[in-house]
Amino acid sequence: MSIPSLYNAIRDHDFSETTCFLCGSNVENSQSSREHVFPKWLLRHFGLWDKPMTLLNGTKLAYRQLVIPCCQSCNNECLSSIEREVQERFVKGAAALASMNRERLMVWVLKIFYGLLYRELFLTLDRREPGAGNIVSVEDMEQYQLLHLILQSCRVPMQFSMMESDIPASIFVFNVQEPENVDVRFDYKDDIVNRTMYLRLGQVGILAAFDMGAQTFVGTDFFSRYQGHPLHPVQFGELGANLFMKARVFNRTPKVMVGEYSQVVNFTVFPMAGLSSAPVFGVWTAEDMAEALMFFLGYSLEEVMPVEGRNATWLENRDGSLRFIPMDAAPWILPPGI
């Protein structure tokens, strides 16, 4: 029995409201053939159904309207089982979600990241000028061809081979304290240029870099120090700033080979270091990190860099021990340790 073929939408520029985003089959332009980028159970749990999300062009669209074309087979057979498992584990907490098969968890977070880009393919950059083009162009999508191939591991048997990681992504799950205010229990951020994603879901925090596993290799020791620790949302935001900054100074273009055989697709990522003597990751300045912290935390420059050239940290005490911050510190303007 032959396996389903990989669908190369980006090579063929095959994007439309009647083409399944995952396999390329024809679908009807109706609600029955739509997949929510953020799953319906998540929208209901956090009361997001009618709340707006700000898109890349600055306009707002209700979360329930963030849907992409998807055939019944991909929806019901490929994605639904993953969705159900994530939901079941989410209810049990961060530890249960962290113990999930990492390939399946990767597909879940990648569908959100890629799905938002796909949705914005069909939205105009400026609604007042229909001829101005779309928020995301077909040419923009060419940068994400490998991510689309990885996403298809839920419908095509795929074997990932690499030295630095077990999956072609760096994904970390954290235990986060949940705010009493229901309006601030959910938070999503991404950096489409550097392929990173930040997702805070009540008591669960997920950081993902779609970097072929580069941050898994060099970042595990750093992030694992805080996994299992009851993080304040501010602390999780600081971790997000670190992940995003690391992605910005990534000095490699990962080399990948994809081969289709009779029973499986082999997806091979070659060693990151390669023949170059340059470090895999560069360094950033305190000013760059200050900008990232302001973006994640909403704090002022004085709060994230109280001493010129030195960033504040909410993760550790002055003696290097892990810091516990209680949730009753809202609105979360806290004295940082430096």
Do 272 and 170 have their domain in common? yes
Instruction: Count the helices and strands in the chain (H runs, E runs).
Output: 12, 11
Looking at 115, 134, 157, which one is the last position of a domain?
A: 157
Q: What is the mean pLDDT of residues 117-135?
A: 67
Do 78 and 145 have their domain in common? yes
Q: What's the whole-model pTM score?
A: 0.92
Given a cut of 50, whether residue 88 has pLDDT beyond it is: yes
Range in 63-72, 77-86, 266-275 with the lowest mean pLDDT: 266-275
- Give, as one character, the DSSP assignment of residue 160: E
Cα 235 from Cα 324, distance rounded (Å)? 9
Do 223 and 264 have their domain in common? yes
Cα 96 from Cα 93, distance rounded (Å)? 6
> What mean pLDDT, rounded, does the chain reach?
88
Cα 46 from Cα 182, distance rounded (Å)? 7
Do 117 and 172 have their domain in common? no
Q: What is the mean pLDDT of residues 15-36?
A: 86
Do 174 and 293 have their domain in common? yes
Given a cut of 70, whether residue 124 has pLDDT beyond it is: no
Looking at 157, 192, 219, which one is the last position of a domain?
A: 157
Do 134 and 72 have their domain in common? yes
Nearest to 208 by CA among 299, 97, 284: 97
Q: How many domains does the chain have?
A: 2
Instruction: Answer for the pair 151, 161: CB distance below 8 angstroms, yes or no.
Output: no
Domain that residue 246 falls in: 162-338
Do 36 and 102 have their domain in common? yes
Instruction: Answer for the pair 265, 258: CB distance below 8 angstroms, yes or no.
Output: yes
Do 259 and 232 have their domain in common? yes
Cα 106 from Cα 104, distance rounded (Å)? 5
Per residue in 198-230, pLDDT (tens digit) is 999 999 999 999 999 999 876 567 898 999 999
Per residue in 274-332, pLDDT (tens digit) is 767 888 899 999 999 999 999 999 999 999 999 999 999 999 998 999 999 988 765 55
Do 209 and 244 have their domain in common? yes
Do 148 and 289 have their domain in common? no
Do 103 and 191 have their domain in common? no
Nearest to 244 by CA among 199, 195, 202, 283: 195
Looking at 132, 157, 182, which one is the last position of a domain?
A: 157
Do 87 and 125 have their domain in common? yes
